Amino acid sequence: MATVARNEKFDYVETETLQILAVDDDPIQREFCSVYMTTPNVSVETADCAEAGLERLEAKNYGALLVDVDMPGMSGIELVALLRSQPRYDSLPIMVITGNEDIPSIDAAYAAGATAFMCKPVNWRLLSHQVRFMVRAHRALMAVGGDASAEAAGYGSEARQ
């Protein structure tokens, strides 16, 4: 069997340029996200609530959105649903990250249009891999004309009608 030479130290790092917006009301989570997810190719900006995240999204294009669920004001699920109701955000991969690991929370995230779901506490190395996969899979679905959020959730085109 042939082996492929890899730089094991950095094989979890996104190799394409990526700008991530992380929306979480917890300042520690925002700081950890910035520290652990930033690489030479990945930049992370943060917002402390859904409304601030929406303002940033309207002002700039991001390659991925990481959003908490339980926040004051608009919830993360409401933000995801609002974004998915606007065609300009169809190509945005969205991962919901929350301490709520119950079935209704998972189902609500995907029903709102999340591309992926992760539970807190966050394993930052695992999150790096999952974001890389989520972005690549989402781009592939968009390239073939798929409804990425519905497809990722296991639903067909009837999911968001």
In a domain, 104, yes or no: yes
Cα separation values, 9 from 12, 75, 134, Å: 8, 37, 21
pLDDT in tens, 128-143: 999 999 998 888 887 8
In a domain, 111, yes or no: yes
In a domain, 160, yes or no: no
Is the per-residue pLDDT at 13 higher than 90? no
In a domain, 105, yes or no: yes
In a domain, 40, yes or no: yes
CB-CB contact of 73 with 53 (8 Å) = no
In a domain, 93, yes or no: yes
In the structure encoding, which two tokens stand for residue 45, read together? 């900006």
Is the per-residue pLDDT at 70 higher than 90? yes
Cα 119 from Cα 75, distance rounded (Å): 16
In a domain, 33, yes or no: yes
Q: In the chain, how many domains are there?
A: 1
Q: What CATH number corresponds to the domain at position 73?
A: 3.40.50.2300
Q: What residues make up the domain containing 113?
A: 17-153
Residue 3 confidence class, pLDDT cut points 50, 70, 90: low
Considering the entire predicted model, what is its pTM?
0.81
